[in-house]
A = this chain, B = another copy of it.
Amino acid sequence: MSSTIAIDAMGGDFGPQVTIPASLACLKANPDLKLIMVGDEAVLAELLTQALVDYKDRISIQHASQIVEMHESPQKALKNKKDSSMRVAINLVRDGIADASVSAGNTGALMATARFVLKMIPGIDRPAIISTMPSIFGHTHMLDLGGNVDCSAEHLYQFAIMGEEVVKAVENIDKPKVGLLNIGEEDMKGNGQVKAAAKLLENSALNYIGYVEGDSINAGHVKVDLIVTDGFVGNVALKSIEGAAKMIGSQLKASFSRNMFTKLAGFLAYPVLKSFRDSIDPRLYNGASFIGLRGLVIKSHGGADALAFETAIHLAEVEVAKDVTRKISEKVENALARREAV
């Protein structure tokens, strides 16, 4: 199935330097993919001269005169950057010209813009950010990763409903196991928000398995397909894991750099260490989806390199192919109708 994705070519710490090679790699890998590169036409046309020939009919440029800065406030970006590459890319999704947009730009501005331009799916109060995390069982999906910092139990319930659809579609499983992130597995544990959300999940049609703790994200004692939490806790957990991986990686490197003998051991073990490093490469987990909106927006890490950004575009391709947005809308409509019928 052919899909058209709008790329915010100017976004992120590195702009076209990263977004263009990643985009070309995706075009090469998937002959059914079409890309619209959004940004300064003069800049992009020069960088894409050859690509416009090689991938004629599959790549085009959409001009946008502004760029949202990485630390610009969402409010200012919304008000003053109506012709930003980020916003124009999302407009293309709203207008049905693109099936999804991908941006490595400022998260807050991207979320505010996506919400303003695309609007919410009726019945959902707030968009959430969902992504996959590597685990000893393969990987697990988790939301919210930072979209919402003050959530009610009802919001957590809505996140679970939406997250289930994403997991079902992307993983091709019928009844994903849903866990609620808490500080213990016993009923008595947790804060008021989590206890109230647990009640809502127990009474839902979801395959709710109960509370899970922080270690379940990467290495729990049972497999869980979807972990639900609020954006504050989810973002702290995500970044704590990034920090742990970085520290462990630097200690492993230090252990092999200590002296002649350890360096020799490192040389001999190089292929193994490389395959290990590849197996935990965070670039292969880049890309988070904003869900709950009437259109698909994928956020890449701001510091993504070309391989990482390629992963984010690939995520957009998968979610377009699986029709995730439509599935969430239908699911929410049904869940609401069931509630009203009660």
Contact = CB atoms under 8 A, between A and B. Distances in A.
Interface of A: 71, 73, 108, 134-136, 146, 149-150, 181, 183, 186, 188-192, 194, 213-220, 229, 231-233, 235-248, 250-252, 254-256, 258, 261-262, 265-266, 268-269, 271-273, 275-276, 279-280
Nearest to A151: B191
Contacts of A246: 136, 215, 218-219
Given A149-B191, A240-B214, A268-B268, A247 B219 contact: yes
Rank and list the top 6 A-B pairs by shortest CB-CB distance, nearest first: A214-B239, A215-B243, A214-B240, A255-B276, A218-B247, A218-B243
B135 A247 contact: yes
B191 A215 contact: no
Nearest to A75: B188
Contacts of A254: 279
Contacts of A233: 232-233, 236
A279 B251 CA distance: 8
Contacts of A146: 183
Nearest to A148: B191
Contacts of A190: 149, 232
Given A240-B237, A245-B244, A262-B272, A183 B218 contact: no
B191 A213 contact: no
B265 A280 contact: no
A79 to B, nearest CB: 15
Contact of A244 (B192, B244, B268, B272): B244
A215 B215 CA distance: 16
A263 B166 CA distance: 39
A279 B256 CA distance: 12
Contacts of A231: 183
Contacts of A192: 150
A240 B266 contact: no
B247 A191 contact: no
A214 B191 contact: no
A241 B244 CA distance: 6
A134 B236 contact: no
A129 to B, nearest CB: 11
Nearest to A249: B248
A187 to B, nearest CB: 10
A188 to B, nearest CB: 6
A245 B218 CA distance: 9
19 contacts: A73-B188, A194-B232, A213-B236, A213-B239, A214-B237, A214-B239, A214-B241, A215-B240, A216-B243, A218-B246, A219-B244, A229-B236, A236-B236, A244-B245, A245-B248, A255-B273, A261-B271, A262-B271, A269-B269
Contacts of A266: 269, 272
A215 B239 contact: yes
Contacts of A135: 247
Given A146-B183, A272-B265, A276-B255, A235 B214 contact: yes
A217 B280 CA distance: 20
Nearest to A240: B214
A150 B240 CA distance: 21
Contacts of A247: 134-136, 218-219, 280
